[in-house]
Chain A
Amino acid sequence: MDANNYYDAIIIGAGPAGLTAGIYLSRAHIKTLIINEGTIGGQMIFTHEIANYPGLESVSGYQLANTMKKQAKMFGCNIKSNVSIKDVNLNDELKKVVLSDGNIYNSKTIIIASGGRPRSLNAIGEALFKGKGISYCATCDGDFFTNKDIIVVGGGNSALEEAISLTKYVNKITILHQFNHFQAFQHAINEVKNHPKINFMMGSTINEFIGNEKLEKVRVTNLKTGESNYLKIDGVFIFIGYIPNTEFLKGKIDLNEFGEIIVGPGMNTNIKGVYAAGDSIVKLFRQITTAVGDGTIAALSASDYLHKQNAKQ
């Protein structure tokens, strides 16, 4: 074992849950490494304005993420971002994380805080037209679709809210949803139903995105009849929910049928020394405040575990 690559605790994920755990552990002088696949901050950086984080009247997700990162680093936490995990060994007393770049890290305890990501349609051509007609962010790209006709895919709160925010730019919006009803707050449903620029295509899905330099049309299938039609369109915004980032844990830890990590009251998983926190666990409300709370509990449990392990030796 390379001593430089040994940590008392490894945290997987640098969203609010992982960064909070990093702050608590490092402040307790526990040698801690956070390994993060994407940008530090996780889903927080998708949020332009956070108005429900106690103590801060209004803050951008980027600022809050940066402050948490600074705080963790200030206490000595090491953070590696934009790296990817190839394999994990959770069962042994000395845990192992193997990165795709070949680096191997060991630790006595692991906290999984890998959060979630937006679900994609997985339709033909989706990757090809990202940024060329397909978008996942209304506030970022809405103005490119001024006076154009677009589709918003999804039927939850975020799809309906983003559709309303796009009405200030576009000519016409078709909300396309796989079910015949929405899964959103009644006030959001009423707002889209009463909006003159919005119409609906229920019980349908997009199977294919077609175009040359940019998106020109989509193939839409009616899920009841199986009938497909081509629709000329300038843009498609996709908001179809989030999925937990736990694929790399399948078969290694107890997950529920949705791929969420099953935890006990101390954020303990079914494996000794392995804890989980934030959006990747089974829970009712996915918020920054709840992720921060989970991260705190996981860190304190991990710290207690390390203390007991060290006392044994």
Chain B
Amino acid sequence: MLDTNLKHIETADILTKIISENENVMVICGRMGPMCIPVYGIAEELEEDYKHVKFCDMEFDSFEANIIRNLPEVQGFMGIPFTIYYKNGKVVKATSSIQTKSQVIIILDKYFGEPNKN
């Protein structure tokens, strides 16, 4: 299991269930390495504000992560983490390798909407 404070997805079935039950889902599929840890950290920080988004992680090396590794959207990817954004169960955006907080925010705001600050 990844050493983060995000919701851990351990099986493909659980991922399918989560994306069917939640409108907006961000899944970071990675390892505990230097390119992945910053992205988990950013998601942990944003979780507080983006209450309308479900933030999760998944172990890249688990067999179950084939559900992400086999997505057509990630076939050109050669850097972890693979970060997938799902809306209503469909992939709307995927990124490869480390991202900055502002890059993640731009994607969240564009596809899932800005957080309600009230």
> Given A62-B3, A62-B32, are A135 and B79 also a contact pair (CB < 8 Å)?
yes
B76 touches A140 (CB 8 A): no
Q: B42 an interface residue at 8 Å Cβ cutoff?
A: yes
A-B contact count (CB 8 A): 72
The listed residue (A40, A62, A139, A235) touching B78 by CB distance below 8 A is A235
Question: Which A36-66 residues have a C-beta within 8 angstroms of B?
Answer: 38-41, 45-48, 60-62
A131 touches B45 (CB 8 A): no
B78 touches A144 (CB 8 A): yes
* Bound Cα distance from A258 to B69, whole angstroms: 43
* Bound Cα distance from A112 to B61, whole angstroms: 39
Q: Mark interface residues in B76-118 (1 if CB within 8 Å of A CB, else 0).
A: 1111100000000000000111100100000000000000000
* Bound Cα distance from A144 to B14, whole angstroms: 26
B79 touches A130 (CB 8 A): yes
Q: Could you say which interface size class chain A belongs to?
A: 20 to 34
Q: Which of B31, B38, B79, B101 has its CB near the most chain A CB atoms (within 10 A)?
A: B79
* Bound Cα distance from A159 to B31, whole angstroms: 22
Q: B53 an interface residue at 8 Å Cβ cutoff?
A: no
Q: Which residue of B lies closest to A134 (CB)?
A: B79
Nearest-CB distance from B30 to chain A (Å)?
Answer: 8
Q: A190 an interface residue at 8 Å Cβ cutoff?
A: no
Nearest-CB distance from A143 to chain B (Å)?
Answer: 9
